[in-house]
Each structure stands twice: as structure tokens, then as C-alpha cells.
């Protein structure tokens, strides 16, 4: 009995004086990070509709020793959430066969997964992520045998903002007889309506008279919207401020707009175009506009006239290649006419 006590006391004193820890040693932690950057690697949290950017997910081994791990492809899958729903992910379709791979993460090294985003939302035909706030997170298919990956897999939040605001498009409708029409605005590359009159809701369902009177009250449908900038900048005009009225009057008339539609344009826009000596004006025809804003009407118009202007201030005259000359549109049958403006403030 005395011998057993002596052995126990000796072992206890040895542990006490040598400072040995009798607890189970903790496994090293593997750190993970996720961040959004522009294509040059600069950290950002806001991007324009249609702008490409990078989402970078990193697994960092700063434990001071090599770490063994195994995984199935893909090792990590980045996904985007909006309003608690997954809208896009790096690998929408995972491999059918699950291949297990063993590897070693050397000390002071990292595993990096970079996704050039954004991709279109799942089950959607639109090209870009719509404006809104998104969270980027990660699915992990990796297991470390001699380390713990940090339990909290981080996420990062970023915002998609519209890059263009189309101001005061007016839609004029002239059916041959009084008719009920359903009109929808679509943003094929992302975007949304900011305001409208009458209230747009999920679409305009209106009664239109041959004179163009809508619901017995409105002369036109009005809306403003945000879209990606897909306008053409190859041709246009540089116009002095003092000649804007005559320029727009002639240009709108040659495109097929009638006097009351032209007067509405001039009454609204000329007073707003006063703080620059010159303006560069890029016309957008129906094909250009359709990349950004599509107009859908329950009954197809016989004549469709759509003309938007991108207007940019400039302090001095600039040479702009003039547009190709086109034949004036002849208005006949059911006529729909729409004008609008993208006003750019930068010189």
C-alpha cells in the first residue's frame, strides 16, 4: 500500500513541476474567409446591374503544420441568396459520381475558390441579377483529419444597383376603336419600375379611346425605371443648348411623332436642359431599347414608334458620328408611340 501511494505521489509531483497538461490537446483551427471584389481584386460591396465581379472563398492553414484533408468535387460551391432564397450558385449541377480525393494543405498555404459572378438566377431567362441585396455563402465538401475547420462558415453581403434611370417615358396608344388593353413592361437584362401613373402594379389594364384618352383621364401611360446601361454610344449629335427646342422638334417629327406628343416632350424636357452649354445626344431605336425595356401589349400595334435619347452634358462641342438616315414611319392602324430620356450628369 505504501509503495502504491509513493508511485502516485511521484507521478503527481512530476506533472505539477513539469507543467504537463493532462487534457486532450485541441486540434488546430482552419480559418475561412469570403469576400467580393471587382475584376482587379479591389474589395467592393456594391456593383451595377450587369457588372461582373469576383467572389473569393479562401481556406487558410496558419496552424504551423501540414494538414491532411479529403473532399468530394466540387470542394466548395459558392451560392447567392436573396430574400432567404438561393437565386444562383457556382455549380448548379453537381457531378453524379461522388469521387473522394485525399490531399494535404501545406502549412502557411491556402485553398482558393474564385467565382466570376454573377450568373443568371436559377430557372430564369434574364441575363443579370436584378437590383437588390444578396448574401454570398459557401457549401463545403471538405473534411480535415487532423484539424477543425472553423464551425462558422462566413458569408458576405453585397448590393446590386441599377446603372441607368430612364426618365419619364410616355406611352401613347391610339386603337382604331375603344378597346381594353393590357400593357406590360419587361426588363430582360434586369431592372424595375420606380414610379408610374396610373399605378402599374403587375401591368396596366386600361380602356383606351381612338383619341388616345386612357380610362377617361390620362393622355398617356407614364413610368420611370432603372435598367442596366446597354445603350448605343456609336452615333448621335452634339447640340448647343440654344438650339435644343428646334432640334428635338424636328427629330421627333422625323421619327413619326405627332404635335401633341412632341409638345409634351418639349414642355417637360427643355426647362430641365439649361445648365450646360452643349449636350451630346445618343438616339436609341426600338432594337436598342428592347435590350433594356420591352413593351408587351395584348393586341399588337400596326405602327410602333419607340425613341429614347441618352443625353449627356458637355462643356464644349464634340464630334459624334451622325446616325444613318431612315425613312419616316407612316402612322396607320393601331398606333403606339413612346419616347423617353436617359439623362447622364457626368461631363
What pLDDT is attached to residue 145? Answer: 87
Q: Which of 246, 232, 259 shows the shortest CA–CA distance to 324?
A: 232
Q: pLDDT tens digits for the chain (347 residues)?
A: 444 443 333 333 333 334 444 444 578 888 899 999 988 899 999 887 667 799 999 999 988 899 999 988 888 899 999 888 898 888 887 766 677 889 999 999 999 999 987 666 666 545 567 778 999 999 888 888 888 887 566 789 998 876 678 888 999 999 999 999 999 999 988 788 889 999 999 999 999 999 999 999 999 999 998 887 888 889 999 999 999 999 999 999 999 999 999 999 999 999 999 989 999 999 999 999 999 999 999 999 999 999 999 999 999 898 889 988 777 788 999 999 999 998 875 43
Contact 146, 27 (CB under 8 A): yes
pTM here is 0.60
Question: Could you tell me where the beta strands, DSSP code E, fall in the chain?
Answer: 29-37, 46-48, 53-61, 67-82, 85-89, 100-105, 109-117, 132-144, 148-149, 156-161, 164-174, 179-186, 192-197, 204-208, 221-227, 237-240, 278-284, 294-297, 303-314, 335-344
Closest CA to 49 of 113, 116, 117: 117
**163: which residues sit within 8 A by CB, 6+ positions away?**
48, 49, 50, 51, 226, 227, 228, 229
Please provide the size of the chain in residues. Answer: 347
Q: Is 156 helix (H, G, I), strand (E, B) or coil?
A: strand
Dmax over CA atoms of the chain, in Å, equals 118
Report pLDDT for 121: 64
**CATH no., domain 29-161:** 2.60.40.2360
CA–centroid distance for 25 within its chain: 48
Domain segments of the chain: what residues? 29-161, 164-344
| Beta-carbon contacts of residue 78 (< 8 Å; ≥ 6 apart) | 34, 55, 57, 89, 90, 113, 115, 117, 136, 137, 138
pLDDT for 7 equals 37
Q: Please choose, from the candidates 15, 136, 8, the residue with its C-alpha nearest in 3D space to the C-alpha of residue 76.
A: 136
Return all residues near 56 (Cβ < 8 A) that are at least 6 apart: 33, 34, 35, 36, 37, 112, 113, 114
| Adjacent-strand bridge partners of 36 | 55
**Hey, CA dihedral for 55, 128, 226, 329, is it positive or negative?**
positive
Query: Residue 1: its pLDDT value, please?
Result: 47
What CA–CA distance (Å, rounded) separates 325 from 307?
15
Predicted pLDDT at 13: 34
DSSP single-letter state for residue 50? T
For residue 282, what are the contacts with CB-CB under 8 A and spacing of at least 6? 231, 232, 233, 235, 236, 309, 310, 311, 312, 320
Amino acid at each position: 500500500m505504501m509503495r502504491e501511494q509513493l508511485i502516485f505521489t511521484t507521478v503527481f509531483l512530476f506533472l505539477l513541476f513539469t507543467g504537463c497538461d493532462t487534457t486532450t490537446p485541441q486540434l488546430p483551427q482552419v480559418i475561412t474567409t469570403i469576400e467580393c471584389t471587382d475584376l482587379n481584386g479591389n474589395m467592393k460591396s456594391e456593383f451595377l446591374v450587369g457588372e461582373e465581379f469576383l467572389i473569393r472563398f479562401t481556406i487558410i492553414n496558419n496552424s504551423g503544420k501540414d494538414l491532411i484533408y479529403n473532399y468530394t468535387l466540387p470542394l466548395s460551391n459558392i451560392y447567392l441568396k436573396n430574400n432567404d432564397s438561393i437565386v444562383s450558385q457556382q455549380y448548379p449541377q453537381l457531378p453524379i459520381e461522388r469521387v473522394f480525393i485525399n490531399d494535404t494543405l501545406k502549412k502557411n498555404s491556402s485553398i482558393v475558390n474564385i467565382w466570376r459572378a454573377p450568373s443568371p438566377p436559377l430557372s430564369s431567362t434574364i441575363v443579370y441579377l436584378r437590383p437588390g441585396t444578396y448574401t454570398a455563402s459557401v457549401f463545403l465538401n471538405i473534411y480535415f483529419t487532423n484539424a477543425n475547420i472553423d464551425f462558422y462558415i462566413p458569408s458576405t453581403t453585397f448590393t446590386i444597383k441599377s446603372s441607368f434611370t430612364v426618365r419619364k417615358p410616355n406611352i401613347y396608344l391610339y386603337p382604331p376603336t375603344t378597346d381594353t388593353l393590357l400593357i406590360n413592361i419587361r426588363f430582360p437584362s434586369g431592372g424595375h419600375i420606380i414610379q408610374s401613373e396610373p399605378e402599374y402594379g403587375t401591368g396596366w389594364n386600361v380602356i383606351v379611346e381612338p383619341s388616345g384618352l386612357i380610362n377617361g383621364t390620362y393622355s398617356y401611360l407614364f413610368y420611370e425605371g432603372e435598367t442596366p446601361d446597354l445603350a448605343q454610344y456609336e452615333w448621335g449629335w452634339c447640340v448647343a443648348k440654344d438650339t435644343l427646342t428646334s432640334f428635338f422638334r424636328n427629330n421627333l417629327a422625323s421619327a413619326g411623332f405627332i404635335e401633341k406628343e412632341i409638345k409634351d416632350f418639349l414642355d417637360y424636357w427643355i426647362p430641365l436642359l439649361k445648365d450646360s452649354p452643349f449636350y451630346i445626344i445618343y438616339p436609341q431605336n426600338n432594337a436598342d431599347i428592347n435590350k433594356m425595356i420591352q413593351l408587351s401589349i395584348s393586341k399588337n400595334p400596326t405602327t410602333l414608334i419607340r425613341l429614347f435619347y441618352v443625353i449627356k452634358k458637355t462643356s464644349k462641342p464634340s464630334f459624334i458620328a451622325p446616325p444613318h438616315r431612315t425613312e419616316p414611319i407612316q402612322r396607320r392602324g393601331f398606333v403606339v408611340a413612346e419616347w423617353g430620356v436617359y439623362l447622364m450628369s457626368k461631363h
